[in-house]
Structure 1
Amino acid sequence: MAEFNKEEIDYEDQLRQSERERKDLKNIIYELPVGLITVKGGNELTIDIANHEFCRMSGYRSADFSMEKMCMAQLIHMEDYMMFEDAAEVCRRGKTSDEFEARIVTADQNVIWAMFQFQIYTYRSAVPYYLVSCWDITERKKMENEIMLVNERYHMLEEVSDDIVLDYDVKKQQFEIPECYLKFAEDKSVKYAGIEELYGAIHPDDRERFQKIFETALQREMKGTAEYRLRQGGKESGKYAYFRTCYQSIADYDGKISHIIGRSYDISTERAVREKLLREVQLDPLTRIYNKTASGEIVDAFLEKSTQGTHVLYVIDIDDFKKINDTFGHTVGDMVISDIATLIREQFTDEAVVGRVGGDEFMVFVKDTSLQEAEAKAEQLCTNVQKTLSGDGAVIVVTLSVGMAVTGKDGYDYSTLFERADHAMYHIKKNGKNHYGFAGETEEGDCEGKNRTEEKENRRNLVADKEFLNTAFSLLSHARDINGSLNVLLEQIGRKYQMNMVSVFEYAPDGKNMLLTNCWSDMGQIYEKNILPITWPKLMKADVGEFVQTTPKWQEKRKKEWLEWSGNAIPIQSIAAVKFEYSNGKTGCIDVGSVEQGKQWRTEEIGTICELSRVVAVFVTLREKMQEDQQAIHKLKTETG
């Protein structure tokens, strides 16, 4: 009996000790800064104790969890409850569960996210009790959702546009492969790639430049743009597309670059259009070979990179071309130029640079050849081009004179080589034409060479101006809006010859006033009035088509009147004009002005402006005829009611 009483006393002591430990645990649990609950296992998981932090998170009171009244199923989102049963099962096998995320349904029926972890802390009557720790991760989940939405937007943008997102993680040394490229990848499960793989996808000609840009962006915060060719498809595809990437490097809290982000755009179509336009700008309209400017730029670009080998520059001129034009007309002359350009292009390889550098003058630059081959080509060209033109009792044989210059011996740049070959060609012309020769064999001396260069340059300028006149006539022949087309022509004249003002006046019958009908200026409005008094006797006395210009003395004398007419604080300092005649003997003039005092007009400028006055006269005549027709139509309508 005594032994029984002793066992009973020991059991009661154990119960009191267990109760004290439970109270101590509750006190500790209540004060911890993370959410803690003790959960009774069994058929269902019920909450035994909940600390202050858990109550704050869930919105319940401590009393709501007393006497094991609340089941975990009431507190946890129904879609997540199975994770708690799984965690309890893991603990029963003597392990601590992994952390897992689940949603808590709060007292006011809102939902928050929490991170949970289970572990067993005691058994009572063979029933397990779990210590469950949790902490609020709602804000983190919101951020993750925002990031996910941003990524979704990026993926959607990639699907509906050609834009590609670039995001390089510097610490991980990898970037996410865009969705649009995964379909080309050999292993579609690989979502990330290293920087070396990116370099490998760049076209070899662009790789070094792209790598320098990227390495610079890794050193400091910066923004920039890069254009390059990126491989499309696998390594063996050989297909590339042009891309433009706008990028920005971003520094972390420690000041070191952590990411390089950007957007890439497929600009293949844009590049194709740009290259087509560039090609058009480089070509001569008549012959479709390179023009003078493009020829020089291409040859110089090659010579800057190539310091070895023998390269030859040909200057080719049609003999007696003016005679061909004068005898058979410009149409036949253009045909001769086109035929010779075709023959030159066919005779030389695709690697040769073939250009038209003047009206009847061509150049060819042949890379990596020999003197024997160059001479043979020149002889072949002179032979093949010969043909006879005949008509109206006239007979002319088309022939060429060809001069050649060799890199190294004759020069190292286009300008020097061209000058030497040009001198050689001139010597051929002087000594019978229809032949060829190298610069060293035909040296004529610096003085004669200089005169020849100036003569040829002047002739090229005059040809260029004739081409401008052709443009003006073309504008006239296609004009629907006479005034609009005339204004366009005036602007082209002003910009081509660096004028500050170009205007058209028609003279009144009384000879005292003139009417301003059209005006272009790069300084805004020049004239405040349309009707101006004629105070330039020299122009009134001039013949039609005669070029006259003001003197500084006259300009100063009329300065006050000019300011009154123009209303402009910066008067035109130099004026030139050409009188023209239009319908029924009426007269007018085209004025050109410059802010440059005492401007000296070049011979080709004077000639072209005089010719343009004839074009303007046609414009004015057409305009007056249209006005007369409109008046006649209006009168007819009025008379017929």
Structure 2
Amino acid sequence: MKKVINHPSFRYLLFGFSLLFLFISFYDYNRISEKHIETEMIEITGENNQLINGAITNKIKDQLEILQNYAKLIAYHEDITSKEVFDLLEPLTKEDLFTNVAITTPDGISYTSPTHTSNNSERKFFVEGMKGKTIISDMITSKISNEQVIVMSVPIYKQAKVIGVLRVSMSTTLLPEYFNLSFLSGNISSFIIQRDGVNLTPKKNYYNFFHMLEKDERNKEIEKEMKEKLANGDHGYITFKLNNKTRYAYFSDVEGTNWYLLSVLPHSYVTERINHNLTHTLLLAGKVCVLLLIIGIYLLYLMNESRKEEVKNQEKLHTIISNTPGISFKHKIHNPASIQFFNDNRKLYAGYSKEELLDLISTDLSSIVWEEDLPIVEQLNRPQKKGTVVSNTYRILLKNGHMQWIFDQRQSVLEKDHTIWLYITVLDVTGMRETQERLRLSEERYAMILKETRSIPFEWNVKADTITFSDAWTNTFAHPKVIDHFLSVTNKYFKDREYTYIPLMENMIRGQSSDQIECILPSGHNENIWVKIHAKALYDNNGFLTRIIGSILDISEEKEKTSRLIKQSQIDGLTGLYNRITIEHLINEACQNNPDSSLILFVIDVDDFKKVNDTYGHASGDEALINVSKALRKCFRSDDLIGRIGGDEFVVLMKANTNVYKELPTQKISMLKNMLSNIHIQKDINFVIHCSIGISIHPQDGTNYKELFTWADHSMYEAKKHGKNTFVYQPKNTEKP
């Protein structure tokens, strides 16, 4: 089939068939266009007829209205044939349009002047006019001028009674001018005819439409059909022949008359349009032919260039194949016996001689293919489209019984003689497959190591902005293994957070080769996990950052342990309050952060606490201290600092208002004393705890812990001197401790 298609004779035949098809198409197009033009012309004729008919009807109505107005004026006179009446009608009689103007009395006598009369008692216009009807007559012969005229008549009423008829006569020769038919019709010829075919507007001696039709069978049928339609008052299209030329016409009745308007489209006008269309069709056909010729020439050029390129590609293919390691050969599709070798590599003969190998290729090469890989070879042997490259790897059995991995690549090529050859290259990839197998085992071992380790490896492709994690990432954090647009994700979720990995990213991007950071990563389970990230930057040959690799280690447990240890080192083991070192640090920090704020330091010492230990034992003493610490927590606010600095000695730092110097927080002190007095110990419920309190105020009495404590401690001892169970505050400028 391909040989037939590529044969030159077939191409010439196809070209000739295309030209014939093109000619038939344009001929059909021209014929359909001519039919469309005829239909369009007929419709235009009908539309023109309706427009002219409307104009004629309006003209007649206007004229009748003028006559009716004159009739009304005549009715005011006693004698409708008097000189005064004819003087009144003088504008009508002077018009060139009317051959005469007359008034007919009820006895049928018509007066064209007071003295000139004629008998019209039998005329239709008189008979119908006396019945009160307005009449526009068919063509009649005037008794006065002996001309062919049409008559317009209106009744003359007086007191609702017809007393005469006013009529005007118009020569039929004036009708075309009166109705302005030439101007209104344009390229279409229009005639006013009666139902019997008489032409009221004759042209070229066509006095009767039916008489001017050529006497053939077709026109006889048209005449019969049209007479029936005229008799029934119908309208419609007709096609007839005149002077051996086809004419298109439309007729419609004129309102208020027995007339019909006949519009005839000249044959020359239709012919002109058809010829014009034919010219355009021929021009279009010529343009299409030129375009097809250009396309044909261009396609021939492309085919020639394609052949040249194909020859070059074949030469290149021969050169490449000849220098390819392994065996390269070709044979015709479905004809392995036509095999031709390009190069020779005895290592790929599978231990066979060249003759034995040729025999295997020509007959059944699958006999040496590893059984499990037969489907692969069958897939390679399936027919492929020209130019398609297919390849795969399979195993063969050597003559000595060993196994060898083969890479097989083949491509179908259309050569100069239009035959398709299969080009095949075979490579020994046994060593590569062994390397791949070792790599696979290494990857499996690596995966097992990753599974056992707590670290989560990651790799961030900076250019693609994609970060990839190991499977452990999804298991631990419930996030996707691969995250695209990593910078956008970071900016969206971590920009305003604390303890993020953003500083590490910034350092690496600025050029730091490696870094580590401890930060918080949110998991998909709405948990915040402390991690330590180790990262290392990788650069290309030009020194540009390409990737960042590293690992993520979950340190939540270590952080929690550290937090517990830190808390234990800061808290008094018995009371749960801050210990001496911590409270001292926190108070110094508060003073530094609030240099101008009023802060009150309370130094609280339990009165006679030694008596509790000596009398009731240390367990009761511990019980009392725990209850005192509870009372302090209840009495002061959560943001106040409370600490135990000795056996029975406590300190509290409270933020105060600006009037602290004028009014001490006595209410707070009273509440504390009251709460302490309600503390009892189990061994003696009657024992009451009291305390002495010393006060100092920041920054008036000191700007750090040492200064504030020294002054408050002095005040506390003053309270003990004043009988205990009270408080003392002495401004620093009154007395020094």
Question: What is the TM-score when the length of structure 2 is the normalising length?
Answer: 0.46
Q: 1:82 to 1:193 in 2, by over 3 A?
A: farther
Give the partner amino acid of 2:467: F
1:270 pairs, out of 549, 552, 558, with 558
Q: 1:27 to 1:205 in 2, by over 3 A?
A: closer
1:48 pairs, out of 339, 360, 379, with 339
Determine if contact 2:624/2:680 at 8 Å carries over to the other structure.
no
Task: Report how far residue 381 of structure 1 moved.
Answer: 1.1
Task: Report how far residue 284 of structure 1 moved.
Answer: 1.7
Q: 1:93 to 1:30 in 2, by over 3 A?
A: closer
- Written as runs of structure 1 = structure 2, the 5 A alignment for 1:339-488 is 339-366=627-654, 371=660, 376-386=667-677, 397-409=688-700, 413-436=704-727, 441=731, 445=735, 448=737
| Residue 384 of structure 2 is aligned to residue 96 of structure 1 | no
Determine if contact 2:473/2:481 at 8 Å carries over to the other structure.
no
Q: 1:442 to 1:432 in 2, by over 3 A?
A: farther
CA-to-partner distance for each residue in 1:324-379, whole Å, 9 max, x for gaps? Answer: 44555544433322221121123234433322111111122346877579554333
Q: 1:232 is matched with which residue?
A: 523
Give the partner amino acid of 1:353: L
C-alpha distance in structure 1 between counterparts of 2:408 and 2:655, whole Å? 74
Task: Report how far residue 120 of structure 1 moved.
Answer: 1.8
Question: Aligned with 1:286: secondary structure?
Answer: coil
Question: What is the TM-score when the length of structure 1 is the normalising length?
Answer: 0.52
What are structure 1's unaligned runs of at least 5 residues?
1-20, 449-641
- Written as runs of structure 1 = structure 2, the 5 A alignment for 1:45-194 is 48-52=339-343, 63=354, 67=358, 69-70=360-361, 73=366, 82=375, 92-97=384-389, 100-103=391-394, 105=396, 107=398, 109-112=402-405, 114=407, 116=409, 118-122=411-415, 126=419, 128-133=420-425, 149=441, 152-153=444-445, 155-157=447-449, 159=451, 162-182=454-474, 194=486
Question: Aligned with 1:398: secondary structure?
Answer: coil
Question: Aligned with 2:415: secondary structure?
Answer: strand
CA-to-partner distance for each residue in 1:230-257, whole Å, 9 max, x for gaps? Answer: 2121xxx431122233443344444444
- Written as runs of structure 1 = structure 2, the 5 A alignment for 1:531-570 is none
Give the partner amino acid of 1:245: I
Question: Aligned with 1:379: secondary structure?
Answer: helix
Determine if contact 2:701/2:732 at 8 Å carries over to the other structure.
no
Q: 1:274 to 1:245 in 2, by over 3 A?
A: same
Determine if contact 2:370/2:396 at 8 Å carries over to the other structure.
yes
Q: 1:216 is matched with which residue?
A: 507
Give the partner amino acid of 2:460: Y
C-alpha distance in structure 2 between counterparts of 1:358 and 1:409, whole Å? 26
1:336 pairs, out of 606, 609, 624, with 624
Question: Aligned with 2:518: secondary structure?
Answer: strand
Task: Report how far residue 168 of structure 1 moved.
Answer: 2.4
C-alpha distance in structure 2 between counterparts of 1:297 and 1:151, whole Å? 54
Give the partner amino acid of 1:343: A
**Larger gyration radius, structure 1 or structure 2:** 2
C-alpha distance in structure 2 between counterparts of 1:341 and 1:181, whole Å? 46
Determine if contact 1:45/1:72 at 8 Å carries over to the other structure.
no
Determine if contact 2:624/2:679 at 8 Å carries over to the other structure.
no
Q: 2:80 is matched with which residue?
A: none
CA-to-partner distance for each residue in 1:96-122, whole Å, 9 max, x for gaps? Answer: 336x55245474744446484634253
1:287 pairs, out of 575, 578, 589, with 575
CA-to-partner distance for each residue in 1:135-157, whole Å, 9 max, x for gaps? Answer: 67777766766665555455545
Task: Report how far residue 303 of structure 1 moved.
Answer: 6.0
Determine if contact 1:202/1:228 at 8 Å carries over to the other structure.
no
Give the partner amino acid of 1:441: P
Q: 1:409 to 1:195 in 2, by over 3 A?
A: farther
Question: Aligned with 2:389: secondary structure?
Answer: coil
Question: Aligned with 1:441: secondary structure?
Answer: coil
C-alpha distance in structure 2 between counterparts of 1:47 and 1:356, whole Å? 104
Task: Report how far residue 317 of structure 1 moved.
Answer: 1.8
Task: Report how far residue 130 of structure 1 moved.
Answer: 2.0
Task: Report how far residue 200 of structure 1 moved.
Answer: 6.4
Give the partner amino acid of 2:521: L
Determine if contact 2:327/2:348 at 8 Å carries over to the other structure.
no
Question: Aligned with 1:261: secondary structure?
Answer: strand
Give the partner amino acid of 1:118: Q
Q: 1:453 is matched with which residue?
A: none
Determine if contact 2:467/2:482 at 8 Å carries over to the other structure.
no
Determine if contact 2:329/2:342 at 8 Å carries over to the other structure.
no
Question: Aligned with 1:172: secondary structure?
Answer: coil
C-alpha distance in structure 2 between counterparts of 1:413 and 1:116, whole Å? 86
What are structure 2's unaligned runs of at least 5 residues?
1-311
Q: 1:393 to 1:123 in 2, by over 3 A?
A: closer
C-alpha distance in structure 2 between counterparts of 1:125 and 1:280, whole Å? 92
Give the partner amino acid of 2:413: I
C-alpha distance in structure 2 between counterparts of 1:231 and 1:417, whole Å? 44
Q: 2:155 is matched with which residue?
A: none
Determine if contact 2:329/2:343 at 8 Å carries over to the other structure.
no
Give the partner amino acid of 1:360: D
Give the partner amino acid of 2:463: K
What's the % identity of the aligned pairs? Answer: 20
Determine if contact 2:534/2:551 at 8 Å carries over to the other structure.
yes
RMSD: 4.9
Give the partner amino acid of 2:455: D
| Residue 532 of structure 2 is aligned to residue 244 of structure 1 | yes
Task: Report how far residue 267 of structure 1 moved.
Answer: 2.6
Question: Aligned with 1:242: secondary structure?
Answer: strand
Question: Aligned with 2:559: secondary structure?
Answer: helix
Task: Report how far residue 319 of structure 1 moved.
Answer: 2.8
Q: 1:399 to 1:252 in 2, by over 3 A?
A: same
C-alpha distance in structure 2 between counterparts of 1:193 and 1:330, whole Å? 66
C-alpha distance in structure 2 between counterparts of 1:330 and 1:186, whole Å? 54
C-alpha distance in structure 1 between counterparts of 2:640 and 2:506, whole Å? 38
Task: Report how far residue 279 of structure 1 moved.
Answer: 2.5
Q: 1:282 to 1:427 in 2, by over 3 A?
A: same
